[in-house]
Amino acid sequence: MSKPEILEKAPINMIELKQELKIIKKRDGELTFRGNKTEEYLNEFAKLSKKDSDELIGKLRKLNITRLKEEVTHKIVDLQPASIAELKVILQGHTLSMSNEDMGKIIKVVKEYIE
């Protein structure tokens, strides 16, 4: 039995996962049961393009909010909160507090990408 080795831990968003699944599907010919279920979910909920996702992450990083961690940035891209109340729900899952001014900046950037 093989022992897989973890080379790197890095957060990714749903759009990046969708791209990785496409690579795996192309390489292996088909996905496993769980892979297919994941692909169905991502096709339903991951609405941004890879380009838009990368732009949004870049803009969120440029805000220079010191307490905004990488994993929270990816979660914001995944869920695309449209209000401060929705953003607060996302932030509750992490030990992170943020001013209303900073949350307003985040919402302003995210609203540019909401359909």
Q: What pLDDT is recorded for position 30?
A: 92
Q: Rounded distance, CA 50 to CA 55, Å? A: 9
- Which sequence spans correspond to the domains of the chain? 14-45, 50-111
b/e sequence 62-75, b meaning 16+ C-beta within 10 Å: eeebeebeeebbbb
Q: What is the pLDDT of residues 65-109, one digit of tens each?
A: 988 899 999 999 999 999 999 999 999 988 888 889 999 999 999
Q: What pLDDT is recorded for position 85?
A: 94
Q: What is the pLDDT of residues 9-50, one digit of tens each?
A: 999 999 999 999 999 999 999 999 999 999 999 999 988 999
Query: Is 4 or 17 the better-scoring residue by pLDDT?
Result: 17
1 burial level (CB within 10 Å; 0-12, 13-18, 19+): exposed
What's the rounded mean pLDDT across residues 47-68? Answer: 92
Question: Two tokens at 32?
Answer: 């496993």
Residue 74's contacts (CB-CB under 8 Å, 6 or more residues apart) are: 11, 12, 13, 57
